[in-house]
Structure 1
Amino acid sequence: MLHLRMIVPAEHTEAAVQLIEKTVGTTHLVVLPGAAHAPSGDLVLCDVAREAGNELLHGLRELKIDQEGSIALENIDLSLSKRADEAEKEAPGEAADAVLWEQLSEATHEESTLSVTYCAFMILATMIAACGVVLDNAILIVGAMAVGPEFGPLAGVCTGVVRRAPRLAARSLIALLVGFAAAIAATTLFSLGMDALDLFSMDQLDDPRPNTSFIWQPDPFSFVVAVLAGVAGVLSLTSSKSGALVGVAISVTTVPAAANAAVALSYGEFGQMWGSAEQLLLNLFGIMLAGVLTLYGQKLLWRTQRGHWSRTGKR
């Protein structure tokens, strides 16, 4: 279940209440006239099944409540209510399959913002990965993958394409490109500094490195894993199962590939650098392709489920 808290201008309260009451899967409606002061209006509270959330949010936005008042939504971790159970049964489809597009757009917008913090995480993750590739240390590589924040912009590009939101797609793509460019540039300088301190060496880079040589030697499995990770990552976002994002982060070699490219560049090893760049681009393309197709698939699945419910009245 989801909990909605709205500040509704008094002249729109009746329309908002009627919308909530006629939306299948809503319950626990509370109206507190004149309770809100900034902005002024009535405070309207209700719970809604996740499956019905999109329909209700769309209707509320058509009433311009988001512009003249406010709409806040949060997940309910525990609801001990017979009426809530009945509302969930009445709502069409399954909660796990429902995509809250407004929530997804908001989440990806926040995660894809080009900020100092975002760039810092990208740079730190790439530097950690640089240590991993030079030392041929798989643990450092996994740690760097987990630190890297690149899946946020990747998800933003996918969401922007599917929702036909060019601004979101563009800002996400810019964050992705600028983030990797800054990380590679900073890590190249970091590698030169480590070499000056005799902590990195050309011999380490040219060693066989059995644990990390795959980073600059892309093969068909690189693309396959990227596609699978893209599907899993998008599903984890749309189903609010964020724990799966950790697995996604450590399954693709985006940050390690950028790190290997930076270290190779610092030593003039252009063969490894181009191999790493190819690995990076292959992974990014695979994730974005899979993400877009997954979101389109979820839209189609949801329409099919709602169509079946409309015809039969059964879930």
Structure 2
Amino acid sequence: MLHLRVISPPEQTEALLAVLAADPGVTHVTLARGMAVEPAGDLVQADLAREAANTVLADIKALGLVHTGGITLGPVATVLSDAAEAAERAAPGDPDDAVVWEQLQAETHEESSLSATFLAFLTIACLLSSIGVATNSAVTIVGAMVVGPEFGPLAALSVALVRRRWRLARRSMIALVVAFPFAMAVTAVATLLWERLGWITTEGVLDAHNVDFIYQVGPFSLVVALLAGAAGMLSLVSAKSAALVGVFISVTTVPAAGYAVVAATLGEWHRALLSAGQIAVNLVGIVVAGVLVLWLRPRTASLPESVERRRRALGEQRAPGR
């Protein structure tokens, strides 16, 4: 389940309570009048089934509380309550199939930011992958896959395309377009230094057959990218974050970037170009799979149905004798 926390101006609290009461997927509703300080108002809290979250949030946003108060939504680790079980049974669909759009957009928005931390992680991942190529170490390549943060912007781009949030799409594209060249440039400088020191040689890279899979583009490159993208998006929308580790290990986006740099500095342009192709295949495949997963997810009640239900609830709340 999810926990909802709303700060509401006193004059809008009754309408908010009516909206919550109108949805059978909402329970554990509490009210603390005058408890909120900034912004000032009443504090209303409730637990709701994931399947009910989209319509409930649409109802609350329609009241204008995003501007006059505040809305917070987060997961609940453990709930022991017959009322909660009844709310989950009453909500249509299955909790694991429900996409909470506001929550998903907030998570991917944060992960798609071009920040110093994002640049640092991607640069470290590229450096690790170049070392893995130089030392013929598949274990180091796997480490680079896990460290790479590129799935965040790719997932955000998928969400942006489905929801038509072009600002989020632009933010994600900027993160990818800026971060990858930066990380590869730093890796190139480091690789040139290691080559001068004799740590990396052309013969060593050409004989590194344990990591040939990085630049060898084939039909399974796209298949793996599609499967990894689908698994990653499913893990995000179902709040099963443990599956993301498997996704990171499956795709060779960052290792391909590291391999391309090492191959280019050694003059192996054919392998460098193949590695660049591997990067493109993985990026496109992950985004396409993410979009397909979001499109194919079971839909909950539509926005018009939600607004109509809210109007009925408000009408009952304002009727004489209530």
Q: Give the TM-score category using the shorter length.
A: over 0.9
User: What pairs up with 1:63-102 in 2 under 5 angstroms?
Assistant: 63-102=63-102
AA aligned opposite 1:147: V
Q: Which residue of 1 aligns with 2:316?
A: none
SS of 2:30's equivalent in the other structure is strand
Deviation of the 1:24 alpha carbon: 2.0
AA aligned opposite 1:277: A
Structure 2 spans left out of the alignment, 5+ residues? 304-322
Deviations 1:120-157 (A, max 9, x none): 00000010010001111110010000000000000010
SS of 1:241's equivalent in the other structure is coil
Aligned mates of 2:44, 2:278 — CA distance in 1: 51
User: What pairs up with 1:298-309 in 2 under 5 angstroms?
Assistant: 298=297, 301-303=298-300
Deviations 1:58-86 (A, max 9, x none): 11111121222111111111111111111
Q: Which residue of 2 aligns with 1:3?
A: 3
Q: Which residue of 2 aligns with 1:24?
A: 24
Q: Is the 8 A contact 2:55 2:302 kept in 1?
A: no
Q: Is the 8 A contact 1:93 1:305 kept in 2?
A: no
Deviation of the 1:305 alpha carbon: 11
AA aligned opposite 2:210: N
Aligned mates of 1:305, 1:34 — CA distance in 2: 33
Q: Is the 8 A contact 2:54 2:300 kept in 1?
A: no
Q: Is the 8 A contact 2:55 2:301 kept in 1?
A: no
Q: Is the 8 A contact 1:92 1:305 kept in 2?
A: no
Deviation of the 1:210 alpha carbon: 2.1
Deviations 1:186-235 (A, max 9, x none): 1111100111222111221222x221111111010100000000100000
| 1:60 aligns to 2:57 (yes or no) | no
Of 173-182 and 150-159, the range deviating more from structure 2: 173-182
Aligned mates of 1:292, 1:79 — CA distance in 2: 32
Q: CA RMSD in A?
A: 1.4
Identity, in percent, stands at 48
Q: Which residue of 2 aligns with 1:287?
A: 286
User: What is the number of residues matched between the two proteins?
Assistant: 303
Q: Which residue of 2 aligns with 1:190?
A: 190
Q: Which residue of 1 aligns with 2:269?
A: 270
Q: Greater RCO between the two (CA within 8 Å, min separation 6)?
A: 2
How has the CA–CA distance of structure 1 residues 304 and 218 changed in structure 2, closer, same or farther, with 3 Å as cutoff?
farther
Aligned mates of 1:151, 1:231 — CA distance in 2: 12
How has the CA–CA distance of structure 1 residues 93 and 74 changed in structure 2, closer, same or farther, with 3 Å as cutoff?
same
| 1:257 aligns to 2:284 (yes or no) | no
Aligned mates of 2:222, 2:134 — CA distance in 1: 24
Deviations 1:1-29 (A, max 9, x none): 11111111111111111000001211111
SS of 1:188's equivalent in the other structure is helix
SS of 2:99's equivalent in the other structure is coil
Aligned mates of 1:58, 1:262 — CA distance in 2: 48
Q: Is the 8 A contact 2:8 2:42 kept in 1?
A: yes
User: What pairs up with 1:1-315 in 2 under 5 angstroms?
Assistant: 1-207=1-207, 209-298=208-297, 301-303=298-300
Q: Is the 8 A contact 1:35 1:41 kept in 2?
A: yes
Q: Is the 8 A contact 1:121 1:147 kept in 2?
A: yes
Q: Is the 8 A contact 1:125 1:147 kept in 2?
A: yes
Aligned mates of 2:178, 2:235 — CA distance in 1: 25
Structure 1 spans left out of the alignment, 5+ residues? 307-315
Q: Please report the TM-score for the alignment, with normalisation by the length of structure 2.
A: 0.92
Aligned mates of 2:113, 2:177 — CA distance in 1: 12
Q: Is the 8 A contact 1:189 1:266 kept in 2?
A: no
Aligned mates of 1:240, 1:67 — CA distance in 2: 28
Aligned mates of 1:29, 1:237 — CA distance in 2: 27
AA aligned opposite 1:113: S
Deviation of the 1:303 alpha carbon: 4.8
Aligned mates of 2:91, 2:288 — CA distance in 1: 31
AA aligned opposite 2:288: L
Q: Is the 8 A contact 2:35 2:41 kept in 1?
A: yes
Q: Please report the TM-score for the alignment, with normalisation by the length of structure 1.
A: 0.94
